Structure formats: C-alpha cells, structure tokens
A and B are shown apart, each in its own frame.
Chain A
Amino acid sequence: MKAPSVPPADVVTAGWWDATREHRLAVQRCAECSGVQHPPRSLCIHCGRTDTLRFDTAAGTGVVDSFTVVYRSPVPDTDVPYVIARVRLDEGVICLTRLENAEPDAWRIGDRVAVDWVDLDDGRALPVFVPAPR
C-alpha cells in the first residue's frame, strides 16, 4: 500500500510508534499480570494497573482471523481492490491491518502471516502482513 497519512503519536502511543521506526512490532504488556493488549492504553484492561505497562517486541507473526477484499475505497485515489484483515498475533492480541503480496482472492482465514512495513514520510512505519515464509 502507499504510505497513508497517520495522526501523530501521543504520550501513550509514542513507544509503539517509536518501535516502528526500527521496523519492530510492539505489543503492550503488563509487568504485573502479564496481560497483553492492543492498541496501547494508559491502563491494563486485565488488571487495571496504570504503572506497570511496557512495550515488548512481538515475534511479528500471526494468523488471519478474518479479512475482506475492499472494492470501493473511502479514500480518494486509493488503488482497489485491497485486503483489510484482523490478524491475531502469536502474542494473542488482534491487529487491524492490510494483507499484501498475494492475490486478494487467494487469502484464507487461518493463513499464517508475517509483518512487513510501509514507511511513512515522518520516519515511522505502518505494519502490514504478508504470507509467512514456509
């Protein structure tokens, strides 16, 4: 996909976006209860603590929970079709993303995927997913 416009990070999400500058996919984890969550928040939705959250580097692999091939984009001048998906990371959280590097109609629920990166103009990068190497 072409680099989209993405709002700036804020103090809660800065650590997650900073990791993307090094093409690392981060997952927020609670040091107290080990719960993971996405997107980043300022409290742990599993135990309620606010002072125990940190960013772990995820393995960058997961499985397609579901997907849809979009034929009419809400964004002008966007090439269609493209594939929107929910990917369940091996760490357990679900991310919204694009599936790339395969024919849109070839994707199946349950496919293994690996992270890839779309570099943004400001140095950050947006994670997308591609077929996992066999």
Chain B
Amino acid sequence: MNGTGVAIVGAAESDLGVTDQPILGLQTQAITRALDDAGLALRDVDGLATTGISRFSATQLADWLGIQPKWTDSTFAGGSAYEMYVARAAQAIRAGQAETVLVSFASNQRSARSRSLGGVVEAHTPEAQFETPYAPLYPLSYYAMAAQRYLHEFGATREQLAEIAVAAREWALLNPKAFRYGAGPLTVEDVLAAPMISSPLTTADCCLVTDGGGAVVLTSSERARDLRKTPVEVLGYGERTTNTSMTAVDNLTLTGAVGSSADALARAGLSISDIDVIEVYDSFTITVALTLEALGVCGRGEALDFIQDGRIRPGGQLPLNTNGGGLSYCHPGQYGVLLLVEAVRQLRGECGPRQVAGARTALAHGTGGILSTHATVILGVDR
C-alpha cells in the first residue's frame, strides 16, 4: 500500500433532509463539525475547496469564514468534484502551498425547491441549440438511455436493476441519518410500480432530492499523527472528463470510471479485490451497475447478475454505499463529498450497526453531470 503523504483527519455532515437553512449555514455546520472532529480550528485552515455556493464559490466561502487562504479550488465538475479536490489538495499539501485544506459542499435544494427537471441550460452552449429543444430530462434522460442500452446489450432484466435501490434501502435502515431511515424495506415490486419518469427508470431508480452537505479536512500524514482521530491516508486518486453533450460518448455503457479507477488503484499499489468498502455515486440505479463494472469488480455486462443474492446488502460480500447512498440516505445535488465522509467513518470504525468489520481500505467514486466526469479516491488506515 503506497501513501501520498496526505491524510483526511476530519469528516462531518451538515444537517440533512429538510433544513430551511441557507447554503452557507449548512456549509458552516459541516465545516465546524469536521474541524471539531479533527481537533483543529478555523485559524489552522489555509486551503479551501468548494463549489455550488455562487460564481466565486471558494472566494465566497473564504469571505464568509473570515479567512484569506493560500490555496483554493472551485473546479466545477458536478458530483465528482470532491474526489478531484482530494487529489488537488493532496498535491497542494505535498507541494507546500497549503498545510490544512477544507473540502466542503452544501445545498438546500429541497427547502429552496431549486432543482428543475430540465437542469440548468446555458444559452450559449451547443447543447442549447442541439439538445435542449427536444426537452430531455437532465440528467435523467441520459442515464435512462444508458439503462435502456445496458438492458438491451447484456440481456439483463429491469427487475435485476431494481436490486440496487433495494440494497441501498437496506443500508439506510441501519443509518439514523438517512432520509429513508424508518421508511421500511423497499421491494423489487415497489421499484417497478413507482411512477415511470424516463423509461426504463422509475422514481425509485432516482436519487433523493434533499438538503445536506459535508466536509473533510486534509493535512500531511506527518501532522495527522498528532491529531485526535486515526488518520485516513489518501492512497491514490484518478479522474476522467468525457462529455457535456448527450451525443459525444460513443458507447453509453462504457464510462470514464474505467480510467479514473485504474489510475487511482495503480497509484495506491492496490487492486480492486484489496478494497474492503466501496462508496460510489448512485445518482440512479444504472450508475451503480456501470460503475461497478468500470471499477473491475466484475466483468462487462455482469454487474446485475453479480449483485443478486444480497451481495451488496448489509452482511453481503461486497459492502457498497453503506450509508444508504443518494438513493435512500441523502442527495443534496453534488453528493460526492458525502461519499468521502462515509468512507472515512467506515475506516475509523465509527459506523455502528452498519460498520463493515475490520475495513482497512475504501474506494470513493464520484460521477458528475451525465456520466460526464469521474473521479476516484482510494483511502486506507494502518491498524
């Protein structure tokens, strides 16, 4: 196991669900809780990475927090940005540009009713002329076309795809923070009977729309040893950026996660079979099937056979999306930061009834846009 010499030393969520908080209020909760978790204070922070606040997101956050950081990043890549920030923060810390970096995100999209079915279209982009006039749901219709193609190409069934939502619910029932905690189990029949939005996907194949946010704190591994919690080492990272349009990628079922995860694992000196816990962005059920194959967990076209028989449910051989995921736990829009929070907690052994026994390595994989951006982070603990 190789390290990058940088570790995550603090991790926390903001309030989740329906909060009636402004975005910066939720950011404040996540940031102060993550710093408390690390045993650090705001005055220790000299790097910020965030987006989704305003046009000048990191600048806005620095102003709000009353700090003047030496390093910032507001790369806008949708839900994978937070895995990208971990990579860039690790590089900045190694290069000596910053010592302590906060990576954070929050959204109040449920309280503010700010999400639209068609997404945000900028009139000067090619998509505004060549795609938006047809009125696709954004991002849903793209994932729906990927799902349709997947089922066609590999002869998998709609029922098999539902298992991803069913398993996510089983994990959420073990997580008191989950939006669907207490909602009871979900069945394959429930998923298929839910309202169809963009075939073959129903509302139950789609992630939640909630408020929420999270933050992680990074510093050098050397400094991390003197802090409060077991350091979670950043072992590797990788990313791919592939498309904004719905037509640029030739093969809908083959994503940039192939390259991003291969790079991350190579940097860590690990193979996918060495990973104890996997947290992947489950924007839609199909996203999980495509990502598992891209990570090399199973072969092309095999994911839906592979996950049957409870393999990704609590107690199964492949612990996946152990907080209940975007499907049943929380989905504030750019969910990627919460993948990191859960991976850190699993590696520290803090997850109570949903804890994966003896987890020493974790993989977090973010996906942004319409399978547009892909970023993988490998984390590990020495114990």
Q: Are A7 and B129 in contact (CB under 8 A)?
A: yes
Neighbouring B residues of A74 by C-beta, 8 Å: 116-119, 135-138
User: How distant is B71 from chain A, measured CB to nearest CB, in Å?
Assistant: 33
Most buried by B among A4, A13, A41, A66: A66
Further contacts, 17 of them, CB under 8 A, given A7-B123, A39-B247: A4-B134, A4-B135, A38-B247, A39-B130, A66-B148, A68-B141, A68-B198, A68-B200, A69-B198, A69-B199, A74-B117, A75-B118, A78-B135, A86-B247, A96-B247, A97-B134, A126-B133
Per-residue CB proximity of B232-266 to A under 8 Å, as 1/0? Answer: 00000000000001110010100000000000000
Neighbouring B residues of A98 by C-beta, 8 Å: 134
Most buried by A among B131, B246, B247: B247
Q: Give A110 to B245 CA distance when docked, in angstroms.
A: 21
Neighbouring A residues of B116 by C-beta, 8 Å: 74
Some 24 contacts from A to B, beta carbons below 8 A apart, are A4-B134, A38-B130, A39-B130, A40-B126, A66-B148, A66-B149, A66-B152, A68-B136, A68-B141, A69-B196, A69-B199, A70-B136, A70-B141, A70-B197, A70-B198, A72-B137, A74-B137, A74-B138, A84-B135, A84-B198, A96-B131, A96-B247, A97-B134, A109-B148
Size of interface on A: residues with Cβ below 8 Å to B: 37
Q: Are A71 and B197 in contact (CB under 8 A)?
A: yes
Neighbouring B residues of A109 by C-beta, 8 Å: 148-149, 152
Neighbouring B residues of A19 by C-beta, 8 Å: none
Neighbouring A residues of B145 by C-beta, 8 Å: 65-68, 84-86
Size of interface on B: residues with Cβ below 8 Å to A: 35
Q: Decide yes or no whether A47 CB sits under 8 A from chain B.
A: no
Neighbouring A residues of B134 by C-beta, 8 Å: 1, 4, 84, 96-98, 126
Beyond A71-B198, A94-B250, is A39–B126 a contact (Cβ under 8 Å)?
yes
Q: Decide yes or no whether A101 CB sits under 8 A from chain B.
A: no
Which of A72, A95, A126 is the one whose CB lies under 8 Å from B117? Answer: A72
**Closest partner residue, chain B, to A40 (CB atom):** B126
Q: Give A81 to B197 CA distance when docked, in angstroms.
A: 9
Q: Give A98 to B130 CA distance when docked, in angstroms.
A: 12
Q: Decide yes or no whether A52 CB sits under 8 A from chain B.
A: no
Count how many pairs of residues, one from A and one from B, have CB atoms less than 8 Å apart in the complex: 108
Q: Decide yes or no whether B144 CB sits under 8 A from chain A.
A: yes
Nearest 9 Cβ contacts at the A-B interface: A74-B118, A68-B144, A74-B117, A66-B145, A66-B149, A69-B199, A94-B247, A39-B130, A4-B133
Q: Give A41 to B245 CA distance when docked, in angstroms.
A: 13
Interface residues of A in 89-124 (CB under 8 A from B): 93-98, 109-110
Q: Give A24 to B105 CA distance when docked, in angstroms.
A: 47
Q: Give A14 to B118 CA distance when docked, in angstroms.
A: 26
Q: Decide yes or no whether A50 CB sits under 8 A from chain B.
A: no
Beyond A86-B145, A96-B136, is A13–B129 a contact (Cβ under 8 Å)?
yes
Beyond A7-B129, A71-B197, A84-B141, is A66–B146 a contact (Cβ under 8 Å)?
yes
Per-residue CB proximity of B187-226 to A under 8 Å, as 1/0? Answer: 0000000011111110000000000000000000000000
Q: Give A17 to B126 CA distance when docked, in angstroms.
A: 13
**Closest partner residue, chain B, to A109 (CB atom):** B152
**Closest partner residue, chain B, to A12 (CB atom):** B126
Q: Give A82 to B137 CA distance when docked, in angstroms.
A: 11
Neighbouring A residues of B138 by C-beta, 8 Å: 74
User: How distant is B352 from chain A, measured CB to nearest CB, in Å?
Assistant: 38
Neighbouring A residues of B149 by C-beta, 8 Å: 65-66, 109
Q: Give A84 to B197 CA distance when docked, in angstroms.
A: 12
Q: Decide yes or no whether B1 CB sits under 8 A from chain A.
A: no
Neighbouring B residues of A67 by C-beta, 8 Å: 145, 148
Neighbouring A residues of B200 by C-beta, 8 Å: 68
Q: Give A74 to B201 CA distance when docked, in angstroms.
A: 16
Q: Decide yes or no whether B42 CB sits under 8 A from chain A.
A: no
Most buried by A among B134, B197, B201: B134
**Closest partner residue, chain B, to A69 (CB atom):** B199
